Structures are given as structure tokens and as C-alpha cells.
């Protein structure tokens, strides 16, 4: 591992990696960009854009995160080994979420909790509720003990 590490940083080691000091202007620009993205996501977040809301929010968040990782965390000039371990963990996190969401997305409505008969007692059972619809309940159900 050490040899790989050395080989990967060979270029910067030649010039001395300690000289990787940038001016502060790039940090200020990133900060302004992050503030602008925050403003956009707050503005669009409470507008009803239908199916666009979630992908838009996630795109903006990913843009912000990328800027933080590349510039604030200096991944733009970090040894490749560091990029590999971090990006791999992100890839697996995405695989985990997409895999499980794929399962949920393709489920029969009957297997969703909203389609299950209420276990909270007959007085708040909702009749004729279409699958997927959220029944209205006036009283707050007492927590049932197992």
C-alpha cells in the first residue's frame, strides 16, 4: 500500500506536496456558490413542482456536496488512493438505496402498510379506502403495548 501511495503521489512529491497552497479566493467562490444553491433549494423546495421536486433537491445537494469534497476537502489534488476509498463508499451507499428503493417501487400495493387493515381497533377502521390512500383519523391512537 505504501509503495502504491508513493507512486501515486510521485509527481507532487517531486515538487514537494507542501506547496499545494492555494489563494483563498477559490474558497470564497465555493462558499458563495453554496449559499446560492441553498437559496435555490429553499425557494424551489416549497413550490409544488410535482415529480420534479425531489430530483431537483437531490441534484442541488449533490452539486453542493461535490463542491465541498473537491475544493474544501481538496479531493481535486489528493492522491488517487483517497479518491478510490471515498468514492467507493458513496457508490455502495447509492447501490444500497437504489436496490431497496427498486424493491419498494415494484411492490404490489397489498404489501404496503397503507393497504394493511388497521390493528388499532374497530372504531378507527376506515372502510372503502382506496389502496395507497391515507385514512383520516380523528383521535390519536393510544400506543399499543406488545
Partner 1 sequence: MSSSDAHHHHVAGPGEPTLAHHFDTQEQQNNAGRLGMWLFLGTEVLLFAGLFLGYTVYRHFYHEAFHEASRHLSTFLGTTNTIVLITSSLTVALALNAVQRNKNKLAAVYLVVTILFALAFLGIKSIEYTEKFREGALPGKWYHFAEITAPGANLYYTVYFLMTGLHAFHVIVGMCVLLWVLKGVGRGKYGPKNYVAVELGALYWHLVDLVWIFLFPLLYLI
Chain residues binding partner 1 by CB under 8 A are: 1-2, 5-6, 9, 13, 17-18, 21-22, 24, 27-28, 30-31, 34-35, 38, 41-42, 45-46, 53-54, 57-58, 60-61, 64-65, 68-69, 71-74, 78-79, 81-82, 85-86, 88-90, 92-93, 96-97, 100-101, 104-105, 112-114, 134-138, 140, 143
CA dist., res. 23 & res. 7, Å (int)? 27
CA dist., res. 7 & res. 81, Å (int)? 11
Beta carbon of residue 116, minimum distance to partner 1 (angstroms, whole number):
10
The CA-CA-CA angle for residues 39, 91, 55, to 5°, reads 35
Beta carbon of residue 42, minimum distance to partner 1 (angstroms, whole number):
5
CA dist., res. 42 & res. 61, Å (int)? 11
What is residue 124's three-state secondary structure? helix
Comparison of 110 and 138: residue with beta carbon closer to partner 1: 138
Amino acid at each position: 500500500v505504501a509503495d502504491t501511495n508513493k507512486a501515486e503521489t510521485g509527481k507532487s512529491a517531486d515538487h514537494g506536496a507542501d506547496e499545494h497552497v492555494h489563494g483563498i479566493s477559490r474558497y470564497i467562490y465555493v462558499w458563495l456558490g453554496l449559499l446560492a444553491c441553498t437559496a435555490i433549494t429553499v425557494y424551489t423546495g416549497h413550490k409544488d413542482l410535482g415529480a420534479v421536486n425531489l430530483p431537483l433537491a437531490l441534484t442541488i445537494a449533490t452539486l453542493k456536496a461535490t463542491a465541498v469534497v473537491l475544493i474544501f476537502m481538496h479531493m481535486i489534488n489528493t492522491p488517487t488512493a483517497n479518491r478510490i476509498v471515498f468514492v467507493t463508499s458513496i457508490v455502495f451507499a447509492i447501490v444500497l438505496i437504489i436496490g431497496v428503493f427498486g424493491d419498494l417501487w415494484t411492490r404490489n400495493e397489498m404489501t404496503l402498510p397503507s393497504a394493511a387493515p388497521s390493528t388499532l381497533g374497530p372504531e378507527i377502521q376506515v372502510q372503502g379506502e382506496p389502496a395507497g390512500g391515507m385514512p383520516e383519523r380523528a383521535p390519536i391512537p393510544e400506543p399499543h403495548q406488545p
